[in-house]
Each structure stands twice: as structure tokens, then as C-alpha cells.
Amino acid sequence: MTGSGKDAGAQPRPSGGRIEVDLEVSRGRSISWTILGLTIGGLLIWKLGTVGVWGGVVLVVMGAYHAWNLTQTFLYPPGTIIVSDREVSLPRGLCMPRPVQATPQDVTAAYFLRRSVPWNHAAPVLVIELGPKAMAFPRDWFASEADQRRIIHALLRDKGGVAVSVDTAVAAGDDKSA
């Protein structure tokens, strides 16, 4: 299974199955931030006084950061989240090499953040905790929110029915418990 729109919302396979969800890359935001940040920041540095120069430096730094993100999308393919009975493979970022490999027993928690989301991420954010390490996967990295639910169901399917209560809470619209 992949993260394409055809199978979005499909029910997770029973225990023993393998779930693969490809992350989606959108270069539009990085392209616009790169062009506008570097151009407007450069103009502010060139034409304005001290306050304008500092504002320009901030814009140039933000433009350079987004240029780096844009370069990563060309160098590496979007990551794939893989969940099976023996392994969990989580990408370190949207287009980053060397995903984190773990076993399903290493996953200490998996949940959605719906309200306490950083201002620059789309809600909900899927959070998967591997011991002391938490990995966040924003909604805009997936083809649909159903892909996030498929991952959380696959991670929780062997935890004694917790996945059913998560699905019920999401279906009922209870943002706090999902």
C-alpha cells in the first residue's frame, strides 16, 4: 500500500500486514520563500538603514533555510513510513536520507496533536514516540488524513484494542482524546 489518493481511508490490514505510506512533497512553499526571502531581504539590506538591514538579514536567513529544504527535495525522494510486525521505519524528515529503524516494541506512544500545533504546521500532527525521542509528521506531508490514521492504527493494533478507541474518538470528533 502506498499513500496515493486511491487507497486513502482504507482499513488497516489485520495483524501480520505491512503498511507503507509515502510522504508527499510540496515544493511551492519552499520556492516562494526562497525567491521572496532572498530578493526582498537583499533589497532591504541594500537600500535601508540599520533596522531595515536587520529585517533583511532575517529574510535572507529564512530564504536560505527554505533554499536548503528545496535542495533536499531534489536530492532525496520523499520518505516512506513503514509499519510491520517486525519493524517500524520512520523518516527523519520529509526528504532526508537514512530513516530511523525500530521495532514495534520500541514505540512508546503514538497520538495526534490537533490543537497544540506549531503555527507553521498543518493540524493534525502525527507524533510517534520512540522512548525519549519524539518524531512529528504534520498533515501536509500526507496525501490525506486517512494515511495518518492508517499509521496510528497499525502501530496500536497489537496494544489491546487501543486503536478502536482512537478511531471512535476521531469519528466522534473528540479532538482531545485523539
Q: What is the CATH number of the domain that holds 135?
A: 2.30.29
Whether residues 47 and 96 fall in one domain: no
| Mean pLDDT along residues 4-27 | 64
Residues 115 and 44 in one domain: no
| Domain of residue 137, residue span | 5-25+78-172
Q: Count of domains in the chain?
A: 2
Whether residue 124 has a cis bond before it, omega within 30° of 0? yes
For residue 10, is it within any domain? Answer: yes
pLDDT tens column, 97-154: 899 998 888 888 888 887 777 676 667 888 888 888 888 888 888 888 888 888 888 8
Q: Contacts by 68-74 with C-beta closer than 8 Å and gap 24+? A: 69/30, 69/94, 69/95, 70/27, 70/30, 70/31, 70/34, 72/96, 73/25, 73/27, 73/30
Q: Is the pLDDT of residue 45 over 70?
A: yes
- pLDDT (0 to 100) of residue 11: 44
Q: Hey, is 73 helix, strand or coil?
A: helix
pTM > 0.75: yes or no: no
Q: What is the mean pLDDT of the chain?
A: 79
Ramachandran angles phi, psi of 101, nearest 5°: -105, 135
Backbone angles phi, psi at 118, to 5 degrees: -55, 150
Closest C-alpha among 118, 6, 78 to residue 127 = 118
